[in-house]
């Protein structure tokens, strides 16, 4: 198996849509619908969103987005790595690419929302310097949400 290669891609590609369905299924298995804050392909295709796909040997194995917000903030969304590619550094490469895209937009702080049962994601974010904080933007104070942020500049 080759190394992960990342590129900005359309969320409407069939292989990418399949990856997003895998992300949806993973989220639904852990959390009720009213505690799920996933964004859909139409939102991922907006101009204020940088959406990346990770491929290994041409196959889509991971994805992630960063939404650029006013005031120097950005939010990580839809970071997901398929089971077959876990442990291969895909999540780390996605974080690196998303933070670089946010930094290029003049962002000083990256925020995210994930769930307390998403143990691999929480470990990845903590390893990358993300720290817990309270709700931000329009998120409710949901006990099934963990809010985090990191200063990148």
Show the domains of the chain with their CATH numbers.
5-151 (3.40.630.30)
For the whole model, what pTM was predicted? 0.96
**pLDDT per position as a tens digit, 85-144:** 999 999 999 999 999 999 999 999 999 999 999 999 999 999 999 999 999 999 999 999
pLDDT at 109: 98
Dihedral of the alpha carbons of 96, 98, 104, 107, in degrees to the nearest 10: -110
Tokens at 98, concatenated: 């998303």
Place of tokens 């937009």: 105
Determine the Cα–Cα distance for residues 23 and 70; give it in Å rounded to an integer: 27
């Amino acid at each position: 198996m080759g190394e992960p290669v990342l590129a900005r891609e359309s969320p409407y590609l069939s292989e990418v849509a399949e990856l997003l369905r895998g992300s949806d299924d993973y989220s639904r298995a852990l959390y009720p619908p009213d505690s799920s804050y996933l964004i859909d392909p139409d939102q991922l295709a907006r101009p204020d969103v940088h959406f990346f796909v990770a491929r290994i040997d041409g196959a889509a194995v991971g994805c992630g987005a960063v939404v650029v917000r006013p005031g120097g903030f950005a939010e990580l969304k839809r970071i997901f790595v398929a089971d077959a590619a876990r442990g291969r550094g895909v999540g780390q490469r996605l974080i690196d690419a998303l933070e670089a895209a946010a930094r290029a937009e003049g962002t000083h702080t990256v925020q995210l929302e994930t769930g307390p049962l998403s143990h691999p994601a929480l470990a990845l974010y903590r390893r990358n310097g993300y720290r817990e904080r309270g709700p931000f933007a329009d998120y409710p104070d949901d006990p099934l949400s963990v809010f985090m942020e990191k200063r990148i500049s």
